[in-house]
């Protein structure tokens, strides 16, 4: 099993967080997203405790809520003492509606609209992470109108090539996010901010990519960022109080994935920051990170009903489920790999090779190819594992398919956290 949250009970059924997934499918219907609350809380604690151990606690873990945004998730991470990052007015609205403390919200995005920026300023959120000079000028203008000084971080591309899929690499110069270091763009932006009266540069941010298993790129990024902070201090007399090193910590989707422990990742990160600070005689800044999938991705699953099994002789077997790319577009988008289990036969061997297909009108609507599962039959419940991050948040109503419900399980008990969409929801904006 991928994590300790998954188990098999005496009926041979797959369980998550002690809850029988076949019962969950019967009770709540399918498709159904299932999250293990204990695991999410433990992930939050693991990051926090590592910072207490290696950085004397002068750190803030921001949950990257693009991974899974809903009111209950904001309430949960808030109760664990985390901050959050949002990337749109919609995520900000959801966080505030859940009662998330505004000062612990950081606002990202490479093309924030003036309305979104005004909303963030009016809501008195913690920081806006500035992506480009157009945005910087808009913030200055809007802050002036409102008679406030906006505290911002600059998003920097540190020029680090993380070993992950091209679509989720974000630290290299050819990327739509942020200011590059190599071509002095970042330096010029700092020069510009010193001329603005209504914006204060509180720190710098980088995020080098997602689903990264090596520790070296994170350490390198920390070194590059501290080096730039030191240059800013020398050339502009600004000592930055915050360094935000983003998210990207990899999780186990399939057995061959080997994630580094949170404790080890944070230990190395803190040691790199402390070393660089000692070298430059730089006061230790407040350190921030933005994990998304490593908080909410593992120890989760999506339950489907198998509707047909189509074997094409000498070609392959398609196992079609009652969801697909509308609730999980990650295979279609970048070939993401998943493990799957026939939940009502979880004690049987996985010796059947399946291509799991969705119900959308696209040949590319697959959850995965050549996945080993138990022998599939119509009406079986299929569990696709580790779907907590970037599934619900990337879901759509393609083919006018209502979005699934989501439940949180804890010690065998499940509670609904997102209602299943209805056909009425589907037409509610149609005129
Ligand atoms: C700026 C930023 N921070 C944090 C994250 C979270 O990444 P992950 O879920 O891999 O931890 C992302 C992901 O896209 C991001 O763009």
Compute, in angstroms, the gap from residue 208 CA to the centroid of ligand 1.
Answer: 9
The percent of residues above 90 in pLDDT, for the chain, comes to: 94
For the chain, the domain total comes to 2
Task: Name the token pair of 284.
Answer: 């230790």
Asked if residue 65 belongs to a domain, the reply is yes
Q: What is the pLDDT of residue 170?
A: 62
Q: In this structure, are 215 and 357 located in the same domain?
A: no
Q: In this structure, are 284 and 378 located in the same domain?
A: no
Q: In this structure, are 178 and 253 located in the same domain?
A: yes
Asked if residue 389 belongs to a domain, the reply is yes
Q: In this structure, are 20 and 144 located in the same domain?
A: no
CB-based burial label for 411 (10 Å; 0-12, 13-18, 19+)? exposed
Asked if residue 184 belongs to a domain, the reply is yes
Please work out whether the CB of residue 294 comes within 6 Å of at least one atom of ligand 1: yes
Q: What is the pLDDT of residue 165?
A: 54
> What average pLDDT does the segment 200-222 reach?
95
Q: In this structure, are 168 and 236 located in the same domain?
A: yes
Asked if residue 187 belongs to a domain, the reply is yes
Asked if residue 94 belongs to a domain, the reply is yes
Among 250, 278, 293, give the residue marking a domain's end.
293
Compute, in angstroms, the gap from residue 29 CA to the centroid of ligand 1.
Answer: 31
303-341 pLDDT per residue, tens: 999 999 999 999 999 999 999 999 999 999 999 999 999
pLDDT band at 175 (very low <50, low <70, confident <90, very high): confident
Atom of ligand 1 nearest to the CA of 250: 10
Please work out whether the CB of residue 293 comes within 6 Å of at least one atom of ligand 1: yes
CA-nearest of 69, 30, 85, 2 to 344 is: 30
337-373 pLDDT per residue, tens: 999 999 999 999 999 999 999 999 999 999 999 999 9
- Indicate which CATH number applies to the domain containing 335: 2.40.37.10
pLDDT band at 169 (very low <50, low <70, confident <90, very high): low
Question: Distance between CA atoms of 4 and 24, rounded to whole angstroms?
Answer: 19
Asked if residue 73 belongs to a domain, the reply is yes
110-146 pLDDT per residue, tens: 999 999 999 999 999 999 999 999 999 999 999 999 9
Residue 277 is a catalytic residue = no
Q: In this structure, are 25 and 54 located in the same domain?
A: no
- Indicate which CATH number applies to the domain containing 119: 3.20.20.10
Atom of ligand 1 nearest to the CA of 389: 9
Does 227 score more than 90 pLDDT? yes
Nearest CA to ligand 1 atom 13: 210
Question: Distance between CA atoms of 358 and 219, rounded to whole angstroms?
Answer: 40
Compute, in angstroms, the gap from residue 431 CA to the centroid of ligand 1.
Answer: 36
Q: In this structure, are 267 and 316 located in the same domain?
A: no
Place of tokens 């002789």: 313
Q: In this structure, are 158 and 269 located in the same domain?
A: yes
Backbone φ, ψ for residue 201 (5° rounding): -80, 110
**Which one of 141, 270, 308, 361 is the catalytic residue?**
361
Please work out whether the CB of residue 64 comes within 6 Å of at least one atom of ligand 1: yes
Q: In this structure, are 264 and 328 located in the same domain?
A: no
Place of tokens 């599934």: 391
393-431 pLDDT per residue, tens: 999 999 999 999 999 999 999 999 999 999 999 999 999
pTM of the entire predicted model: 0.96
How wide is the angle at C-alpha 318 spanned by C-alphas 316 and 321, nearest 5°? Answer: 165
Among 293, 321, 342, give the residue marking a domain's end.
293
Q: In this structure, are 173 and 235 located in the same domain?
A: yes
Strand 59-64 vs strand 32-36: parallel, antiparallel, or unpaired? unpaired
Compute, in angstroms, the gap from residue 419 CA to the centroid of ligand 1.
Answer: 26
Q: In this structure, are 190 and 273 located in the same domain?
A: yes
Nearest CA to ligand 1 atom 9: 292
Asked if residue 1 belongs to a domain, the reply is no
Among 275, 293, 311, give the residue marking a domain's end.
293
Compute, in angstroms, the gap from residue 188 CA to the centroid of ligand 1.
Answer: 25
Atom of ligand 1 nearest to the CA of 211: 10
Q: What is the pLDDT of residue 174?
A: 79
Asked if residue 378 belongs to a domain, the reply is yes
Please provide the average confidence, as pLDDT, over all residues in the chain.
Answer: 96
CA-nearest of 41, 69, 93, 74 to 295 is: 41
Q: In this structure, are 13 and 60 located in the same domain?
A: no
Task: Name the token pair of 222.
Answer: 């920390």
Instruction: Note down the domain range covering 239.
Output: 37-293
Task: Among 66, 205, 262, name the best residue to mutate to test ligand 1's pocket (greatest count of ligand atoms within 8 A of Cβ).
Answer: 66
């Amino acid at each position: 099993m991928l994590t300790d949250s998954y188990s098999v009970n005496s009926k041979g059924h797959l369980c998550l967080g002690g809850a029988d997934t076949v019962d969950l499918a019967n009770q709540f219907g399918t498709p159904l997203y299932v999250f293990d609350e204990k695991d999410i809380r433990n992930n939050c604690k693991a990051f926090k405790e590592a910072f207490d151990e290696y950085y004397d606690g002068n750190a803030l873990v921001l949950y990257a809520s693009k991974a899974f945004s809903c009111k209950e998730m904001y309430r949960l991470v808030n109760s664990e003492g985390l901050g959050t990052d949002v990337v749109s007015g919609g995520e900000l609205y959801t966080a505030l509606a859940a009662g998330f403390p505004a000062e612990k919200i950081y606002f990202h995005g490479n093309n924030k609209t003036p309305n979104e920026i005004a909303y963030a300023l009016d809501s008195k959120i913690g920081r806006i992470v500035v992506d480009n000079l157009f945005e910087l000028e808009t913030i200055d203008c809007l802050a002036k109108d409102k008679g406030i000084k906006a505290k911002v971080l600059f998003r920097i591309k540190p020029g680090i090539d993380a070993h992950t899929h091209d679509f989720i690499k974000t630290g290299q110069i050819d990327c739509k996010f942020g200011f590059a270091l190599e071509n002095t763009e970042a330096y010029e932006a700092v020069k510009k901010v010193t001329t603005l009266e209504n914006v204060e540069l509180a720190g710098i941010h980088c995020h080098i990519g997602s689903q990264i298993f090596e520790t070296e790129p994170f350490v390198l990024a920390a070194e590059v960022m501290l080096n730039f902070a030191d240059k800013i201090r020398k050339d502009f007399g600004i000592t930055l109080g915050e360094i935000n090193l983003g998210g990207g910590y990899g999780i186990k989707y399939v057995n061959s994935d080997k994630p580094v422990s949170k404790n080890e990742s944070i230990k190395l990160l803190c040691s790199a920051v402390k070393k660089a600070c000692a070298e430059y005689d730089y006061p230790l800044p407040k350190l921030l990170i933005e994990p998304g999938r490593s908080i909410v991705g593992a120890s989760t699953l999506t339950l489907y009903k198998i509707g047909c099994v189509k074997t094409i002789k000498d070609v392959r077997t398609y196992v079609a489920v009652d969801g697909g790319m509308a609730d999980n577009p990650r295979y279609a988008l970048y070939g993401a790999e998943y493990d799957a289990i026939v939940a009502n036969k979880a004690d049987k061997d996985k010796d059947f090779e399946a291509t799991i297909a969705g119900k959308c009108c696209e040949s590319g609507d697959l959850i995965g190819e050549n996945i080993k599962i138990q022998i599939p039959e119509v009406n079986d419940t299929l569990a696709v594992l580790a779907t907590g991050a970037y599934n619900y948040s990337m879901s759509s109503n393609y083919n006018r398919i209502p979005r699934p419900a989501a439940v949180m399980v804890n010690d065998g008990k499940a509670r609904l956290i997102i209602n299943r969409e209805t056909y009425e929801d589907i037409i509610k904006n149609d005129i």
